[in-house]
Chain A
Amino acid sequence: MSTLEIRNLHATVESDGEPREILRGVDLTVASGQTHAVMGPNGSGKSTLAYVIAGHPKYTVTEGSITLDGADVLDMSVDERARAGLFLAMQYPVEVPGVSVSNFLRTSVTAVRGEAPKLRLWIKEMKDAMSALQIDPSFAERSINEGFSGGEKKRHEILQLELLKPRIAVLDETDSGLDVDALKIVAEGVNRFQADGTTGTLLITHYTRILRYIHPDFVHVFVDGRIVESGGPELAQRLEDEGYERFVKAGSAA
């Protein structure tokens, strides 16, 4: 049982030499067995929330806390956070020329699990995980994300999710740029990850369509750097019907 607790989180980014506040007091708790969807319009700061949880150096936390099972996440380096059980599936996965996917995955799994997996078992594990996501085996020898299509990049992110098996996964607009087939494959991967109830997922998205395949227990509307309304799956339906307009107006009036 794991819990990610975000309390009164404020964060800034340097913009034109001035710190600009992007997160303005986020409160959110994600526990094992739960799927949370954070939905918001463009520019609301929802992706910043994902990057701040992962520890991207571009952002400065000015107030508040993030803890994972009581441990201070903000005190950890980026890699320590990952080893503690946090995972960020990125909206724009980065290309790393010359580093093969298989080499990367094995190095990463070794770091997170604390020991190198036995080679033969590892090869099978990796092949099975790739096959489940319909990733061609030849990808193992390609450089990380180099020349991957948008859909291939996202499947590669979910491959890492399934192999690393974090306690809490943050998926940042994993649905963006995916066609229907790829969306289903990716959603099935997330559902497999979430199936045994030992992990939690924080799904950040602009659109409701992925929620047809990944069913959230909680939906949060994110506007202007904070959560302005929370509810159950029905809130997503309402957003689908009404859009963000009501919240954007409310947000700017506040």
Chain B
Amino acid sequence: MSVTIPASDHSPTVRSRAVADHPVPSGREEEWRFTPLDRLRGLHTGSLDLSGSVGLAIESEGFVAETVTVDDPRVGATLVPTDIVAAQALTGSAGAVVLSLAAEAMGRARVVMTGQGVPAASHLVIEFAPFSKGTVVIEHRGSAVLAGNIEIRLGDGAQATVISHQAWDRDAVHVGTHAAHLGRDARLLMAHVTLGGDLVRLSPLVSYAAPGGEAELLGLYFADSGQHLEHRVFVDHDTPHCSSSVLYKGALQGEGAHTVWIGDVLVRAQAVGIDTYEVNRNLILTDGARADSVPNLELETGEIQGAGHASATGRFDDEQLFYLQARGIPEDLARVLVVRGFFADILGRLGEPELSRSVMSDVDARLGVDVEGLGVDDGEADDEVAR
């Protein structure tokens, strides 16, 4: 099956399950030009053997987990591959995992994918039936060369949070498409927390089945020396009266640290009354790091509530450091506070204390500070103040 969509600046031109339908990227294409292909270990060639496995551990309350063949009608219903890696993730998977939450049910699931050091493919389907409410946290750990798809479907009125946490070992390569489709009045919070890996390239896609859908996309990434962390958001406003809000924040430090954020929002002619806003902010901590940030907003109708974007990449604010240091806080700890503060709004929105602690301790470690005993908030003080 191959569908060719009318040309648009932003929407992909090929949508197909078949690997052969997708061109092998040369690196000159707009959508691949930021990605260092030579570090993909062949993941983009369509011919890499992805039959290796990833360890999969699922803890869930309320969700039903099944392993199905990729011919199952639930697989690929939302995520029709738009690039060769997604096609391979689908066809290369021995089977897909379907996590589903029944109508009006509440649930929570934690999925831990642990790389085994070999190339592998995975395809995860997460279905939230109408009026269900649930959270799924997917953690990527270990080392792998992974083509990983996640497709997310929200029935009418469903409220879902899906967090993909890239806590890979330093040498992992991960390319993934995370496609979500929202039913009427459904609300999705999709987040990407990317700290580990050598090269991570994720493409979150959002589309709407009916009016009233609200999508909030949040991202947090921290690239150290040599890491390439790329997030390519595409929100396809093809339905009236839906909204999207996108906020990705990144920190970078060290020689060759590279982040890429693409924010494509397409508002099609029929998508009247929509509201969209996307923001990317990058904090560059040292020389030698590079943040690419490319917001794209394409409007085919002016009959909308609002549409906008903002992008800012800045260096450490010396005045902030001076202020904190003038209160006795040593410079290295002051830097930790500023970076923690930079990420605080994202972590606050996610409301996952364990994830917050994990991110914060990662930030501390990267900045070389152990905050134990230094009076830094660990969440405990807030509770006390609130009383």
Contact = CB atoms under 8 A, between A and B. Distances in A.
A186 interface: no
B326 A54 contact: yes
B327 interface: yes
Given A83-B328, A100-B377, A111 B333 contact: yes
Contact of A94 (B322, B341, B384): B322
Interface of A: 54-57, 77-79, 81-83, 87-88, 90, 93-100, 102-104, 106-112, 115-117, 119-120, 122-123, 126-127, 137, 140-141, 143-144, 160, 164
B327 A160 contact: yes
B343 A96 contact: no
A83 B374 CA distance: 14
Contacts of B337: 96, 99, 103-104, 107
Given A102-B377, A106-B375, A123-B384, A94 B319 contact: yes
26 contacts: A57-B318, A79-B325, A79-B328, A82-B325, A82-B327, A87-B326, A96-B323, A97-B342, A98-B341, A102-B381, A103-B377, A104-B337, A106-B376, A106-B377, A108-B324, A108-B327, A108-B328, A110-B374, A111-B329, A111-B333, A122-B381, A137-B385, A141-B385, A143-B341, A143-B344, A144-B323
A96 B338 contact: yes
Contacts of A57: 318, 322
Contact of A93 (B323, B342, B385): B323
A110 B381 CA distance: 14
Given A78-B326, A108-B328, 11 more contacts: A57-B318, A77-B331, A79-B328, A82-B327, A82-B329, A97-B344, A99-B340, A100-B377, A102-B385, A107-B337, A108-B375
Interface residues of B, number: 34
Contact of A104 (B319, B322, B324, B373): B324
A96 B329 contact: no
Given A107-B375, A109-B375, A111-B329, A123 B381 contact: yes
B353 interface: no
Contacts of A96: 320, 323-324, 337-338, 341
A209 to B, nearest CB: 26
A79 B325 CA distance: 4
Contact of B381 (A56, A87, A103, A137): A103
